[in-house]
A and B are shown apart, each in its own frame.
Chain A
Amino acid sequence: MLRVTCTIAALACGLPGLAVAQPSAAPQALMSKECGACHMAFPANQLPARSWAAVMAGLADHFGENAALDPASRAAIEGYLTANAATGRAKALRGLAENQTPLRITELPSWQREHRGKVTPQKLAITKAKSQSDCVACHAGAARGQFDDD
């Protein structure tokens, strides 16, 4: 609790040095908490680094909502996501041109190929998925990066 208080309200905390240092101490935990508040925390290896940078640059208008963070947390989370992003020949990047920067996993050619006929309105209704982005409705282990469990 104190750690979060300090990172977000660094001035009120009175320990600015500590406040800046803290997020990087556990960036993955910070990402899981902050990016897991409205949906599951999407695994970093599902998008390329350029996409994560674009997502993190637009948090104030994030798919129709404001999801803004304090600057220290934002920087720590962007660092974690880009360092652990999909690279090179990763499956997630198959068919994606280098000059394309999708903001969604569900926009990736590989995701769309994998889900052809599997996220129809009927399938969403059966699985009670709120949308095709609601990975956990169909993949119980999705938040841990497991998608081959069904």
Chain B
Amino acid sequence: MKPALLAAVVLAGTLGTLPSHAGPTQTAVLETYAAQAKVAEPGFAGFSVERGKALFLGRFTTGKPDTPSCTTCHTTDPRKEGQTRAGKVIGPMALSAKPDRYGVLAEAEKWFARNCDSVLGRACTPREKGDFISFMVSQ
């Protein structure tokens, strides 16, 4: 099976049955992460909204001390505005509240690279990125 087709099948198995506001651009980004997750984890069986929520709400001690959680800046409510540590407003993370999110792979990659390192002290895996976006497009 071609990677793209495989990704579509994996996505259909996860997102197809879940409430999702994802449009074509978000679906394309999710397909890219699904294809990467297949390679990284042979047992990969699709993204999980629940795991994405747990990553979003989790508190970690492995990253930088000032940023123990995604919620440090994004607040615990994905539909609400957040704030950077320097005081600037961050638009909501839920796709329903900010429809231009998760549609540009390079933008998502840049912020996952920064924020996963700040909070977790390591890169997020393709599965974690897909879980996180799956949660946010369901919100």
A residues with a Cβ closer than 8 A to B are: 1, 4-5, 8-9, 12, 37-40, 60-61, 64-70, 129-131, 133-134, 137
Asked whether A65 lies within 8 Å of B87 as measured between CB atoms, the reply is no
Within 8 A of A (CB), among B23-61: none
Q: Interface range on chain B: under 10, 10 to 19, 20 to 34, or 35 or more?
A: 20 to 34
A-B interface contact total, Cβ < 8 Å: 64
Asked whether B106 lies within 8 Å of A5 as measured between CB atoms, the reply is yes
A to B CB contacts below 8 Å, 20 in the list: A8-B107, A9-B105, A37-B88, A38-B86, A39-B84, A64-B85, A64-B118, A65-B67, A65-B85, A65-B118, A66-B64, A66-B114, A66-B115, A66-B118, A69-B110, A70-B110, A130-B87, A131-B86, A131-B87, A134-B87
Asked whether B109 lies within 8 Å of A130 as measured between CB atoms, the reply is no
Asked whether B110 lies within 8 Å of A38 as measured between CB atoms, the reply is no
Query: How distant is the Cα of A137 from the Cα of B87 in the complex, in angstroms?
Result: 9
Asked whether A38 lies within 8 Å of B105 as measured between CB atoms, the reply is no
Question: What does the 1/0 interface line of B7-21 toward A look like (CB < 8 Å)?
Answer: 000000000000000
Chain B residues in 8 Å Cβ range of A40: 88
Given A4-B104, A65-B64, A65-B66: A39 in contact with B109 (beta carbons within 8 A): no
A39: nearest chain-B partner, CB-CB:
B86
